[in-house]
């Protein structure tokens, strides 16, 4: 049998600034050559486990350790980061932060440079590793010319160049679009075949399970909840209970009242034995399907033949035409770098379109300044830290009104109103630094809502959030939408577009590829491939179960799921 | 928006082929030579040479037009201010007075003053092409490694390399934050008063500092995890080995520096070259 | 720099990038004609107070030198060295400021120390270093460079002190002491 390469023994950890430990009594062994997924909701301690393995704890983050952790024979209590860097290679979530070199080659060589490897040997190793991750044609490119997926592959190369036995991936899917994420999982799997021990920290279970993993370790509130094979874990109802999303095809089976057992191999759809579920799925579909009613729509925003280029040479938006109707919540999806954010910048007036017009309620928006436009279109940036400039929540929300010179009495009235809508009333006196990420996000949304924009645009509103926080943010946005707020979401999260937006606009290479119902987009294989999306597993399930109209099955699921969730809430 | 710090363009000219180390050393030799002298003959000689090099490096005027305009504005201001503050400084330096004409009151233009100011003007102007050649033909990756080559501590060199790497990211952050705050109503135009603009800028600065501090945390973790900083030295992937042409160029620049020093200490025997006596 | 932690090195690199961004893009004309309020000096002061003199020096030196390369094609050494010296001296306040700020405190004592060293730094830079180098290297007339130096000193000192304090205060407010964070 292979021996344990990582072993936690009665391990616990408490951060210096926390009043409670983050990890309690962890006992865990990972054997050489194993491929393990550590899953859990945000704040459960899974990243802390990762920090312990790569030595950031206790070398960079202060705190108290109880018990012990042995990595390949070294007790981490006395090991320096440098010692551990030869054992564990870490690929961080943010591939921009990890990309230190000015070019791909330099970045891959970074660890070798630190080890004083001579130039000739370094060049040999770098070109060999670059080939392994399919980056051999990009060695002299700089990071700003690379896609997110390429940057991540470069990060992988950068840790493998040191020939470490253990590879640790911290949320490798967080910043990738669905298709790129799938390629990343395939690449990680290929690396695992070379005898490395691979640890993946992720909460997107369905996407990670695209390839086989040996074990899933489920963590919540600092403790290990489950440590078993994926099939075993998925047969139980543990994931949802602990705030993690289970694969959608399993949710569908549960809605149809199917019993899922370990021997049905629920961990991957291709191996999943649906024979016992077929009857129930078909009858559930027949019982619940009903055509969605079309509502009358009033035009709010019109983007007409808009063209845009940053440098006048490379077109970023080519002839974009788009209508947004009042009270709608729609998503703009597509490849990273396909022009989604640029389109938002043009609508908000951050960038001037080269041709075409943008009108809102019949008024041409080009006549307004950026700040005047904010009364028509408000935008919430992805990272709340990029928007917050005040210490107190009230002041932050009031900022936009105060700089407009609105009398203080009215400012107070409007801010309190918005705080109530956004569920922030009880935090009125709190400093912003004490808020969680999701709450900060609410503050930034509130600070835009207070200006009463006709349309609210959100750039990746749920990026980096686990299922629980994702649902919290999205339910909140849905509530706003129900009260009549028109919302545009820019995203590459397929769940988000499927579950919360009826309509999806697919943007790819600066053109609109499709403008249709969200579920139709995700059931259209050629389209999803072009736009770097992924076909939804619901569609595949329906086909597998022999349902005659798989598209309608997906639609039924979405409708049912919406009702189910709103009853839960 | 992609904003790159070095507008380095990959051409194949003799100057591009030199290593970054050589270009840095030559740049320092020649600029020191200009700094050490106030002899217009030496300055003009170096100026002519550096314009020839600019031609060899195939730097087009359109690439550098904006820089020249800025420099000329700066020099024009300096020219006027110098005359206003010290109209007789040339007389003081050269010890003679040849009046040309009186503008008003005490402000008499002298040949000495004019000569002094023209020398100063060309002294400032002569180093511009040198800087441009260095800046536009040096591969940024190589730059940090070449500094380590001249004996500067590798950690300081790494800082510089990080500056070059993350400048586009930080400026993208700055633009995103600025636009988001402008959309909330921040008036960044010239209409606002100094005080309110100062207050407004802090609404951009605070988020910018916080995002930068987050980035610092992340990057330093990433570097530590890849074993940075434990050894006393490090090697550089981007280092170019030196060739004969490199040594030759450095030699020529050193001779120019020595020649300028010779003229200063043994021919003029002064910082200034005095044609008036 | 030899024994500097990785965090200090990264702070130096990114601090210089930030300094450069502000130096290039943010120009607020001061009440004195032909001079700008340089917000960037507040940023170099902020980093100097948190990471020390060498970090401060390099941030201002690298940032200013790169700015000159981009804007004028060649560096103006006298002012670049002065910028560096200024942040270097401000960085002496690190001992009194940094650890307190990391614990979330930026009170009167810390403000006092920061402002005093900013004052000394700015004075040394613009009234001593820059004018003397201008005279030695470029043969500028003394009356001109000292007049320019005093103006720059007044404008930059006020900007650096005000902006630096605001930033340190804001940064301190995001820091928390031992065992103070608990889940609701």
pLDDT in tens, A113-143: 999 999 999 999 999 999 988 898 888 888 8
Residues 6+ apart with CB under 8 A from B210: A385, A388, C170, C171, C174
| Residues of chain C found within 8 Å of residue B228, distances taken between Cβ atoms | 6
- Asked if residue A451 lies in contact with residue A378, where contact means CB atoms within 8 angstroms, the answer is yes
Nearest alpha-carbon partner for C109 in C86, C93, C124? C93
Provide the mean pLDDT of chain A: 89
Q: What is the mean pLDDT of residues A398-420?
A: 90
Is it the case that residue A52 has pLDDT exceeding 90? yes
Is A547 found in the same domain as A479?
no
A85, A233: one domain: yes
Cα torsion at A152, A158, A164, A168 (round to 10°)?
A: -30
Spatial separation of the C-alpha atoms in residues B31 and C74, rounded to whole Å: 10
Residue A227 reports pLDDT greater than 90:
yes
State the total domains in chain A. Answer: 3
Query: What pLDDT is stored for residue C179 in this prediction?
Result: 56
Q: What is the pLDDT, as a whole number, of residue A310? A: 84
Residue among A247, A246, A251 nearest A284 (CA): A251
With bands split at pLDDT 50, 70 and 90, how would you rate the model's confidence at B159? Answer: very high
Domain contains A160 = yes
Q: Please list every residue in chain A whose beta carbon sits closer than 8 Å to the beta carbon of residue B225.
A: 54-56, 81, 85, 89-90, 92
Residues of A in contact with C176 (CB under 8 A): 17, 433
Chain C residue with Cα closest to B190: C28
Q: Which residues of A touch C179 (CB under 8 A)?
A: 16-19
Residue A415's pLDDT band, with cuts at 50, 70 and 90, is very high
Q: For the segment A555-567, what is each residue's pLDDT rounded down to a tens digit?
A: 999 989 888 887 8
How does pLDDT run across C2-61, given as a tens digit for each residue?
Answer: 678 899 999 999 999 999 999 988 877 776 666 678 899 999 999 999 999 999 999 999
- Residue A99 to residue A95: CA distance in whole angstroms: 6
In the predicted model, what is the mean pLDDT of residues A252-278? Answer: 91
First to last CA, chain A: 48
A152-167 tens-digit pLDDT: 999 999 988 888 899 9
Q: Which of B141, B200, B241 sits opposite A102 (nearest CB)?
A: B141
pLDDT tens-digit profile of C64-112? Answer: 999 988 888 778 888 999 999 999 999 999 999 988 998 888 999 999 9
Q: pLDDT digit string (tens) for A301-352?
A: 999 999 999 877 888 899 999 999 999 999 999 887 778 888 999 999 888 8
Distance from CA of A243 to the nearest CA of B (A): 27
For residue B105, is pLDDT > 50? yes
Distance from CA of B241 to the nearest CA of C (A): 25
The verdict on a CB contact (< 8 Å) between B135 and C69 is yes
Distance (Å) from the C-alpha of residue B227 to the closest C-alpha of chain C? 10
Residue B29 and residue B46: Cα distance in Å, rounded? 11
**Residue in the structure block whose two tokens are 């670049």:** C80
Beta strands in A123-194 (DSSP E): 166-170
Residue A64's SS3 state is: strand
Model confidence pLDDT, tens digit, residues B24-57: 889 989 988 988 888 899 999 999 998 899 888 8
pLDDT tens track for B179-188: 888 888 776 6
Give the containing element (helix H, strand E) for A69.
strand A63-71
A403 and A414 housed in the same domain: yes
Give the B:C interface size as CB pairs under 8 Å.
176
Same domain, A234 and A254: no
pLDDT level of residue A1 (50, 70, 90 thresholds): very low
- Mapped onto helix, strand or coil, the DSSP state of residue A197 is strand
Residue A296 corresponds to which tokens in the numbers above?
């009358």
Predicted local distance difference test score (pLDDT) of residue B8: 63
CB contact residues (below 8 A), chain C span 10-69, against chain B = 10-18, 20-22, 25-26, 28-31, 34, 37, 39, 42-43, 46, 58, 62-63, 66, 68-69
Q: Identify whether A499 is part of a domain.
A: yes
CB contact under 8 A, C139 and B64: no
Peptide bond into B130 cis (omega under 30): no
Query: How far is it, in rounded angstroms, from Cα A25 to Cα A234?
Result: 25
Hey, is the C-beta of C120 within 8 angstroms of any chain B C-beta?
no
In C, minimum Cα distance to A20 occurs at C182
Q: Cβ–Cβ of B177/A386 closer than 8 Å?
A: yes
% of chain A with per-residue pLDDT over 70: 99
pTM of the entire structure? 0.89
Q: Are the CB atoms for B248 and A104 separated by under 8 Å?
A: no
| CATH architecture assignment, domain C6-172 | Orthogonal Bundle (1.10)
Do residues A185 and A275 share a domain? no
A-chain CB neighbours of B204 within 8 Å are 389
A352 contact B CB<8A = no
Asked if residues A447 and A20 have their Cβ atoms less than 8 Å apart, the reply is no
pLDDT attached to residue A440:
86
Cβ(C139)–Cβ(B39) below 8 Å:
no
8 Å CB contact of B215 and C14: yes
Note whether C150 contacts B: Cβ–Cβ < 8 A. no
Give bridge partners of residue C85 from the DSSP assignment.
Answer: none
Contacts of B193 (CB under 8 A, 6+ apart): none
Query: Rounded to whole angstroms, how far apart are CA atoms A493 and A176?
Result: 9
pLDDT at C181 over 50: yes
- Residues of A310-344 as b/e, b for ≥16 C-beta within 10 angstroms? eeeeebbbbebebebeeebbbbbbbbebbbbbbbb
- ipTM comes to 0.90
User: Domain ranges in chain C?
Assistant: 6-172
**What pLDDT sits at residue A240?**
87
Q: Do A226 and A353 share a domain, yes or no?
A: no
Domain annotation covers residue A256: yes
**Chain B adjacent subunits, 3+ CB pairs under 8 A:** A, C
Q: In this prediction, what percent of chain A has a pLDDT beyond 90?
A: 46
Chains that touch A (3 or more CB pairs under 8 A): B, C
**CB contact set of A500 (below 8 Å; sequence gap of 6+):** A329, A331, A474, A477, A478, A489
A382 shares its domain with A396:
yes
| A482 pLDDT above the threshold of 50 | yes
**Rounded distance, CA C84 to CA C48, Å?**
10
Q: Which pLDDT does position C33 carry in this prediction?
A: 61
- Dihedrals phi, psi of A18, to nearest 5 degrees: -95, 150
DSSP A269-327: TTT---TTTHHHHHHHHHHH--PPPPPP--EEEEEEEEEEESSSSSEEEEEEEEEEETT
A251 and A352 together in one domain? no
Strands (E) located in A470-535: 486-490, 503-508, 511-517
User: Between A398 and A97, whose confidence is greater?
Assistant: A398
First vs last C-alpha separation in chain C: 42
In sequence order, the 6+-apart residues with CB closer than 8 A to the CB of B162 are A100, B219, C9, C10, C12, C13, C14, C17
Best mutation site among C8, C102, C178 for testing chain A: the one with the most A CBs within 10 Å?
C178
The set of residues, in sequence order, having a beta carbon less than 8 Å from that of A234 and lying 6+ positions away, is: A246, A247, A250, A260, A266, A267
Q: How many CB atoms lie within 10 A of CB A64?
A: 11
| Interatomic CA distance for residues B55 and B69, integer angstroms | 19
* Residue A257 in this model has a pLDDT that exceeds 80: yes
Residue A541 sits in the same domain as residue A449: no
- Give yes or no for residue C184 having a pLDDT over 50: no
In a domain, A203, yes or no: yes
State the pLDDT confidence band at B248, using cuts at 50, 70 and 90.
very high
Q: Are A169 and A184 in contact (CB under 8 A)?
A: no
Is A488 contained in some domain?
yes
pLDDT at res. B2: 38
User: Looking at per-residue confidence, does A169 or A469 come out higher?
Assistant: A169
List the single residue in B202, B219, B226 with the smallest CB-CB distance to A85: B226
Burial of residue A490 (CB within 10 Å: 0-12, 13-18, 19+) is buried
Residues A252 and A239 in one domain: no
* One domain for residues A390 and A518: yes
Per the domain annotation, does A294 fall within a domain? no
Same domain, A38 and A122: yes
How many other CB atoms are there within 10 angstroms of residue A261's CB atom?
Answer: 15
**Residue range(s) defining the domain that contains residue A149:** 4-245
Which uninterrupted H or E stretch holds C113?
helix C108-123
CA pair distance A91, A200, nearest whole angstrom = 10
**Pick from A9, C137, A110, C156: nearest CA to B223:** A110
Query: Which tokens in the block code for residue B223?
Result: 């570097």
């Amino acid at each position: 049998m292979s021996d344990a390469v990582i072993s936690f023994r009665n391990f616990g950890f408490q951060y210096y600034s926390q009043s409670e430990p983050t990890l309690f009594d962890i006992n865990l062994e990972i054997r050489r050559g194993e491929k393990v997924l550590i899953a859990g909701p945000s704040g459960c301690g899974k990243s802390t486990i990762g920090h312990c393995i790569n030595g950031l704890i206790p070398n960079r983050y202060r705190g108290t350790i109880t018990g012990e952790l042995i990595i390949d024979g070294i007790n981490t209590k006395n090991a320096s980061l440098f010692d551990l860097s030869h054992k564990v290679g870490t690929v961080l979530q943010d591939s921009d932060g990890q990309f230190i070199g000015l070019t791909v080659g330099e970045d891959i060589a970074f660890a070798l440079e630190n080890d004083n490897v001579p130039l000739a040997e370094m060049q040999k190793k770098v070109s060999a590793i670059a080939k392994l991750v399919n980056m051999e044609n990009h060695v002299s490119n700089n990071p700003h010319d690379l896609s997110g997926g390429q940057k991540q592959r470069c990060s992988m190369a950068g840790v493998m160049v040191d020939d470490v036995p253990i590879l640790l991936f911290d949320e490798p899917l967080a910043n990738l679009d669905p298709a790129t994420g799938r390629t990343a999982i395939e690449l990680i799997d290929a690396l695992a075949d070379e005898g490395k021990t691979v640890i993946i920290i992720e909460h997107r279970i369905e996407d990670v399970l695209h390839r086989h993993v040996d074990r899933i370790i489920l963590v919540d509130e600092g403790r290990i909840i489950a440590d078993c094979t994926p099939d075993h874990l998925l047969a139980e109802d543990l994931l949802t209970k602990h705030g993690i999303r289970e694969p959608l095809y399993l949710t569908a089976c549960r809605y149809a009242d199917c019993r899922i057992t370990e021997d049905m191999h629920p961990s991957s759809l291709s191996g999943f034995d649906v024979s016992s579920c077929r009857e129930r799925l078909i009858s559930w579909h027949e019982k619940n399907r009903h055509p969605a009613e079309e509502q009358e729509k009033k035009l709010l925003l019109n983007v007409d033949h808009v063209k845009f280029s940053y440098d006048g040479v490379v077109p970023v938006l080519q002839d974009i035409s788009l209508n947004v109707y009042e009270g709608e919540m729609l998503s703009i999806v597509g490849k990273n770098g396909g022009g989604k954010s640029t389109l938002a910048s043009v609508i908000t007036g951050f960038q001037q379109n080269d041709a075409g017009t943008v009108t809102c309620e019949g008024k041409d928006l080009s006549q307004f300044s950026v700040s005047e436009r904010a009364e028509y279109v408000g935008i919430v940036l992805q990272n709340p830290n990029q928007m917050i400039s005040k210490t107190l929540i009230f002041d932050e929300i009031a900022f936009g009104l105060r700089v407009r010179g609105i009398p203080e009495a009215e400012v107070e009235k409007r801010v309190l109103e918005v705080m109530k809508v956004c569920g922030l009333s009880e935090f009125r006196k709190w400093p912003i630094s004490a808020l969680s990420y999701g709450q900060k996000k609410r503050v930034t949304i509130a600070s835009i809502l207070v200006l009463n924009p006709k349309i609210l645009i959100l750039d990746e509103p749920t990026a980096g959030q686990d299922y629980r926080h994702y649902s919290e943010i999205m339910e909140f946005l849905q509530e706003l939408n129900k009260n009549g707020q028109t919302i545009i979401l820019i995203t590459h999260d397929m769940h988000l577009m499927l579950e919360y937006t009826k309509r999806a606009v697919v943007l790819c290479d600066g053109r609109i590829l499709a403008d249709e119902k969200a579920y139709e987009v995700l059931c259209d294989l050629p389209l999803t491939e072009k736009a770097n999306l992924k076909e939804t597993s619901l569609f595949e399930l329906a086909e597998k179960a022999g349902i005659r109209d798989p598209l309608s099955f997906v639609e039924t699921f979405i409708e049912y799921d919406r009702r189910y969730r709103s009853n839960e809430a | 928006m992609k904003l790159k710090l070095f507008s380095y363009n990959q051409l194949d000219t003799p100057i591009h082929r030199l290593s970054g180390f050589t270009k840095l050393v030559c740049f320092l030799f020649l600029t020191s030579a200009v700094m050490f002298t106030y002899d217009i003959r030496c300055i003009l000689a170096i100026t002519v040479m550096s314009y020839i090099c600019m031609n060899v490096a195939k730097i087009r005027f359109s690439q550098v037009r904006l820089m020249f305009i800025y420099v000329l504005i700066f020099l024009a201001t300096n020219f006027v201010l110098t005359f206003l503050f010290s109209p007789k400084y040339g007389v003081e330096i050269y010890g003679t007075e040849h009046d040309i004409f009186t503008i008003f009151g005490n402000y008499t233009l002298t040949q000495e003053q004019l000569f002094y100011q023209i020398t100063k003007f060309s002294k400032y102007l002569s180093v511009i092409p040198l800087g441009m050649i260095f800046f536009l033909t040096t591969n940024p990756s190589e730059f940090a490694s070449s500094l380590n080559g001249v004996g500067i501590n590798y950690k300081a060199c790494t800082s510089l390399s990080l500056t070059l790497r993350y400048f586009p990211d930080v400026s993208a952050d700055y633009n995103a934050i600025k636009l988001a705050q402008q959309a909330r109503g921040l008036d960044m135009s010239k209409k606002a008063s100094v005080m309110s603009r100062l207050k407004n800028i802090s609404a951009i600065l605070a988020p910018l500092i916080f995002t930068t501090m987050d980035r610092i945390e992340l990057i330093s973790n990433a570097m530590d995890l890849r074993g940075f900083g434990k050894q006393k030295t490090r090697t550089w992937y981007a280092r170019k080995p030196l060739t004969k042409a490199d040594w030759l160029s450095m030699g020529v620049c050193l001779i120019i520096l020595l020649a300028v020093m010779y003229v200063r200490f043994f021919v003029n025997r002064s910082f200034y070259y005095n044609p008036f006596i | 720099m030899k024994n500097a932690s990785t965090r200090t090195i990264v702070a130096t690199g990114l601090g210089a990038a930030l300094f450069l961004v502000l130096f290039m893009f943010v120009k607020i004309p001061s009440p004195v004609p032909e001079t700008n309020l340089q917000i960037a000096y507040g940023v170099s002061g902020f980093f100097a107070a948190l990471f020390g003199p060498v970090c401060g020096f390099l941030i201002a030196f690298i940032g200013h030198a790169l700015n000159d390369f981009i804007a004028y094609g060649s560096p103006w050494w006298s002012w670049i060295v002065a910028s560096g010296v200024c942040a270097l001296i401000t960085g002496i306040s690190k001992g009194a400021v940094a650890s307190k700020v990391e614990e979330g405190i930026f009170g009167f004592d810390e403000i006092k120390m920061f402002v005093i060293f900013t004052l000394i730094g700015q004075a040394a830079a613009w009234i001593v270093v820059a004018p003397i180098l201008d005279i030695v290297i470029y043969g500028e007339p003394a009356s001109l460079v000292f007049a320019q130096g005093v103006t720059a000193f007044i404008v930059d000192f006020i900007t650096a002190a005000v902006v630096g304090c605001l930033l340190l205060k804001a940064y301190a407010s995001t820091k928390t002491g031992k065992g103070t964070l608990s889940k609701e």
